[in-house]
Structure 1
């Protein structure tokens, strides 16, 4: 259902902190023109934690309207409160999204049974396809391989996973647990090459915000099993993948966008702040290495 290069879209804000809708629409249009294979509005990189529910799903509706069915839209919709997660997935469906990206409950630290029951309640509440999002570095909650398999087999609407565990073996283990048709997307740009070789079919990407065409070409090379070209593109992009996390995200990626798209509204909402000097230097060097500056 989903594959290739799928940017986890940044959310543009004006200097007064308001949502910059015109810039967002232009950004989505650029992403599609550059070859991105899907869009994820209002995820971690989109500063979803700072958006009100009204702002969140307005941004999703704008994304869906601008995409006009040309690429799928996977709306960020997770919550650590099961009732809120249910409301979110229904709102994502009402907004016209093709799927919802759902983290397991964060902060609460449920056990594996609690994680399963959470997704059971969400899946039973709405028929919108669900892509699990496993990012224990942020949620402090790891969806175990066995639980991924159990969820995938129990609920047909759970169609895939964004794996940001940083454990490359998970791609093989989850393929065995959930089946070869279960859609596995890397959540780590720098690991996407090995992840795809292990059965992944794409990446929900931070770097694709800045280098959408190169990321799309990289994913196409992997899909074609042209790993010589894929490795060349990986080498070209690697420093940029690393630079995106040299300070708290999405600070570095918004700074990078400001370098490749001067004048674009790139303000951050507190508690996120501008990246530090060392991070900005790393981004500048990486943009040069990628041929983007």
Structure 2
């Protein structure tokens, strides 16, 4: 069985073990199946890798990876509620998300690992989730006006989550100095979010970012342009979403012509390269460095 398959299997077993309400359990198992279709479970795999990288003993690392993926899946579901993406029953989705969030933390608390390590890991999880919530709210409120503000928001929203999954694996393995891991993990998160924002520009029917008027780097670029464009008209409320949607091909063409798409791709690559530079400094076997680089390409 693949690593992804093992993690998913463990996630389902955790739900079966701890959840007793039939409808909620069924919904949670279904959510894991849907998650499997859309995700490579890279967060759990990153937790695995960092635990393996620094561990001197055999711990149930698949259990750690499953816990991490449950927490991340909780965040994805709550995002869907906020963005009103693909949802039919908000109530059970919220309950499912809360269930996943609590389950992930409960799994960590019950690991057969020294209490001191678990306490540090759980404290770090809470800290990172709080940072992510702050970033998410800034994003939803569209409170960014500059590139610097946007990067700061993205670092909180996504960088903190990647830091969480990487550092938790290291902490549970007994790693004390996590500064370098935090640094490259946040860079990875920023690059990944920029890539996701670019993807959202080409998938208006699947993602609600444009309709919600979220300000990503390429959109900020267009709003700062000296030329009139559809993005300025839309964000200045001169045209509504329906009018913008009809002209989406022209809007994307304007982005490409102005260089906004290229700019965002360059920014993503810059943060990937920053991450690679920090990874190279790690005092670990080269096989772990190669695995990390492969995951963030």
Structure whose residues are more often strand by fraction: 1
TM-score, normalization by structure 2: 0.32
Structure whose residues are more often helix by fraction: 2
TM-score, normalization by structure 1: 0.33
